[in-house]
Amino acid sequence: MDAEELNRFIESWGSMGILWGINRSMARIHAYLLVSEEPVDSERISSYLNISRGNTSMCLKELRNWGVIQRVNISGDRRDFYMAEPDTWKMLYRIAIGRKSREFDPALHALRHLLSETDTGKSRKVHERLTQVEEILTTLDHFIDRFLESEEKSKTILSFFRNFAPK
Amino acid sequence: MDAEELNRFIESWGSMGILWGINRSMARIHAYLLVSEEPVDSERISSYLNISRGNTSMCLKELRNWGVIQRVNISGDRRDFYMAEPDTWKMLYRIAIGRKSREFDPALHALRHLLSETDTGKSRKVHERLTQVEEILTTLDHFIDRFLESEEKSKTILSFFRNFAPK
DNA sequence: ACTATATTTCAATGGTTTCTGAATAGAGTG
DNA sequence: CACTCTATTCAGAAACCATTGAAATATAGT
């Protein structure tokens, strides 16, 4: 993978960051770590991607919170080095779990709260509509939980998906 | 459903808009239509939610593009009235389809493009890692397509989800 | 304890998205 | 056709978010 290809990847990963719900800088840094064989230090990241040291530091912290990168120490070197989570599966789980807990769960919670406090008699039609939404989201919620529950199980589910939706 | 509860719902639906990938105003308007028994006109939406007429008009247009609300005419009245898509299922499909085509598909496409142009020999480890990601996303892609393919079929899939992930 | 280097924090900046309100277009009516 | 009411557009204002860079903090080695 030559430098040009590498940059093309970094930039496209950066712009597809929306999909994971992370911003451009974070995604670019993540991409850079993904394509680096060896752990790299923050100075190198910052200068290669033209991101300030400060921002680089904050992004690395965030990415660590997400669990998609790891900090490693190299003996005899005072600097911190970083590498992408080496297990692709684990990485994707972490991203999915993060998104779910930040977006999906609060949404579902709010809806349930609303329904529990709503007088069913007052406007039946509306109440039924919202109940339907709640049911669907609840089912999806359980499903996603199972899907994310363990690595091995998820691999099984994936193979189910393959059979169910071949083409 | 009293006014306070109604507002609470509108606001939480508004802030969960991120989940559907739509902005606050659009989501609030959508929520208001969801909980309205009868079709409402744009003036009423605008004054109830404190959103300018101009913005209301643009949001309604967007929501119609998404297919999650409908414009209806009431004879003898020159105004346009709006109502939420009455079929909850259809509504959720429309949202899911929109998100997939705006976020998921371009991301997957970019990744494939990258892989097709990458020299496999140069950095095997990285190439393998990306290929893994591509495979997983492709499988999910097919699965989601099937899931969204038709109303009836999706209902079947939902019941599968229920059995697979009861609790 | 001191120095040199690495890291983190945060106020200020710059950029992007969203919203407003006035201008414009359009549709129905006498 | 002139009038009235409604809908849409769009330039500028406001709100929001990401990024910088300098200052503060932390740490390792001497």
Q: Are A59 and A25 in contact (CB under 8 A)?
A: yes
Nucleic strand C within 7 A of Cβ B23:
yes
Residues 22-41 of A with CB under 8 A from B: 34-35, 37
Q: Decide if A107 and B34 are in contact by the 8 Å CB cutoff.
A: no
In angstroms, the CA A147 to CA A157 distance is 7
In angstroms, the CA B156 to CA B167 distance is 19
Three-state DSSP at B156 gives helix
Q: Are A66 and A96 in contact (CB under 8 A)?
A: no
In angstroms, the CA A154 to CA A160 distance is 10
Q: Are B50 and B40 in contact (CB under 8 A)?
A: no
pLDDT digits (tens, 9 = 90+) for B88-109: 888 888 888 888 887 788 888 8
B158 has a chain A CB within 8 A of its CB: yes
Partner residue opposite A107 with nearest CB, options B19, B123, B127:
B19
Closest nucleotide to residue B17 (Cα to C1')? C18
CATH 1.10.760.10 for domain A3-84, yes or no, is no
β-partners of residue B83 are B70
ipTM: 0.80
* Mean pLDDT taken over chain A: 81
Cα dist from A86 to A5, A34, A53, A70, B165, whole Å: 21, 8, 25, 9, 29
In angstroms, the CA A159 to CA A70 distance is 29
Ordered per-residue pLDDT tens for chain B, 167 residues:
567 778 888 888 887 787 788 899 999 999 999 989 899 999 999 999 999 999 999 999 999 999 999 999 988 888 999 999 988 888 888 888 888 887 788 888 878 887 887 665 556 777 888 888 888 888 888 877 776 765 555 565 566 555 554 33
Nucleic strand D within 7 A of Cβ A26:
yes
- Say what the pLDDT of residue A163 is: 58
- Say what the pLDDT of residue A154 is: 55
